[in-house]
Amino acid sequence: MNRMMPAGMAEAMNLTRQGRLQEAAALLQGVLRPAAAAQPAPAAEPPPSDAPPKPRPAPRGRIFDVDPDGTTHFPGLKRRAPRPAGPPTPAGAQFLSGGFSGAAGERKYRLYVPANLPAGPVPLLVMLHGCTQTPEDFASGTRMNALAEETPRLVLYPGQTKAANAQRCWNWFKPGDQARDRGEPALIAGMVRQIMAEHAVDEGRVYAAGLSAGGAAAAIMGEAYPDIFAAVGVHSGLACGAARDMPSAFAAMKGGGPVRTPAGRPVPTIVFHADRDATVHPVNGDQVIARAAAAGLRTTTTRGEVPGGHGYTRICQADATGRVLLEQWLVHGGGHAWAGGDAAGTYTDARGPDASRAMLRFFAQHSLEG
């Protein structure tokens, strides 16, 4: 693994183990800055109130920020301040605020209830935001609320706290947050059960999707709770078990982590990843698919291009009935951003392809009943 990392990464990992995060970040800036000096630095953004000031851009070259979970934020994508109000809510719809408390702690959430919600049970989609994002921001960027009006469903946006992670990242790399009935998976599952008890939810059609750290969390939820989630979507994320601490998180993001076949039923999975993602290496998308692999599937590959946007490669693995169990999109020329997203949210790339619609189409094929 060390052979895949730039010189100096091992020393940064040692500093991380010692809790000297600012020194590790400074070292990493010097190690990786020359790799993409051609890209302009982003507009300055004020740091979180409980975090030390971020370093100022150098006169030449490129800097990046390193989150406490090891996530590096590179320039090239415009970062806007989150919009607390979230996307517009049409007449008759509701964007509710709520919270869940359990043995593992408590978290707040937003729940979208579409205006045209039919009578009877409907699907539930759980959307897990990325680092620095909020539920409202993620709703704006993915447009899932608007799509819920087209294909009625409830959309749940759990919110990570700065107390749990200074950059609001889901702690995908901690062993205590990677297993059933422990840590953050227990909180998210408890939240889902609460929504299911309070609203008419089709218990066989509950899905999870996320971006970056949220994508890694979605992968964890699929493995930890295959009795709850019928399918998952992982955008620019990592496989469950890719890291066990901060040093291995750095290594996984730069070159992938260990891959093993989990016990139990593989959960149908759709993956989006861009081939120029400099924050989470695209090999991690391959590894998410590898962990969900099943025998006897038929593979088809198609290629296309969004008019005026990105090209892409789509690989589908289907069972004997033709139902796609694994779907992988590689976006050519894209970065660390939600493909086809709305610029009203952070970490979005409007040049497509449309990850939100693709995920909803994929989820529609799957339920716990069959």
Tens digits of residue pLDDT in 250-260 = 999 999 988 87
Residue written as tokens 């749990």?
164
In angstroms, what is the C-alpha Rg of the chain?
A: 20
Active site includes 236? no
pLDDT at 25 over 90: no
DSSP lists the bridge partners of residue 209 as 127, 233
Cα–Cα distance, 103 to 84 (Å, whole number) = 28
Closest Cα to residue 227, out of 246, 206, 249?
Answer: 206
Q: What is the pLDDT of residue 13?
A: 61
pLDDT at 189 over 50: yes
Cα–Cα distance, 181 to 204 (Å, whole number) = 20
Which one has a higher pLDDT value, 122 or 40? Answer: 122
Taking residue 201's Cβ as centre, other Cβ atoms within 10 Å add up to 20
Single out the catalytic residue among 49, 97, 101, 212.
212
pLDDT digits (tens, 9 = 90+) for 192-237: 999 999 999 999 999 999 999 999 999 999 999 999 999 999 999 9
pLDDT at 314 over 70: yes
pLDDT at 301 over 70: yes
Residue written as tokens 């399918």?
231
Q: What is the pLDDT of residue 223?
A: 95
Q: What is the pLDDT of residue 158?
A: 98
List, in order of start, the domains of the chain with CATH numbers: 2-33+51-66 (no CATH), 94-294+333-363 (3.40.50.1820)
Using a 10 angstrom Cβ sphere, with 0-12 exposed, 13-18 middle and 19 or more buried, the burial of residue 283 is middle
pLDDT digits (tens, 9 = 90+) for 281-295: 999 999 999 999 888
Q: What is the pLDDT of residue 62?
A: 32
